Amino acid sequence: MAFAAPVAMSARAQWREVNQAQGRSLTDPRQTDGIEIFQRSGTITIRTQRPIQVKVFTILGQLVSQANLPVGTSELKLNTRGIFLVKIGNITQKVAL
């Protein structure tokens, strides 16, 4: 039985720092230690008040991206649509792109 290779986009999925996040946060920063997660047009954006490690998975559990993000706002542009899981510490958020 063959196993599927990790999602091909994982090599291209790179986080970059941005000035601001647009839209409504999918998380309540009062309940998530100041972490906010946004989604818009194929992009996952995270705003944080402390350095964090973030992992993004497909709905099937394949790792798309793993990174240590600095304080501020960072975004991950994905060239595909679907449902992704964003995991930051004990926070897991479903994001539909």
Ordered DSSP codes for 25-51: -SS-TTTTTT-EEEEETTEEEEEESS-
Count: domains in the chain: 1
Give me the residues paired with residue 92 across strands: 87
Above pLDDT 70, what percent of the chain? 88
Residue 76: name the closest of 50, 55, 37, 45 by CA: 45
What is the CATH number for 49?
A: 2.60.40
- Residue 25 included in any domain: yes
pLDDT at 1: 40
- Tell whether the model's pLDDT for residue 69 goes beyond 80: yes
- Range 59-65 average pLDDT: 96
- Residue 47 included in any domain: yes
- Residue 29 included in any domain: yes
- Residue 1 included in any domain: no
pLDDT at 22: 81
- Tell whether the model's pLDDT for residue 41 goes beyond 80: yes
Q: What is the pTM of this model?
A: 0.84
pLDDT at 12: 56
- Residue 5 included in any domain: no
- Residue 3 included in any domain: no
- Residue 61 included in any domain: yes
Domain extent, residue 63, equals 10-96
- Tell whether the model's pLDDT for residue 36 goes beyond 90: yes
- Residue 2 included in any domain: no
- Range 27-54 average pLDDT: 94
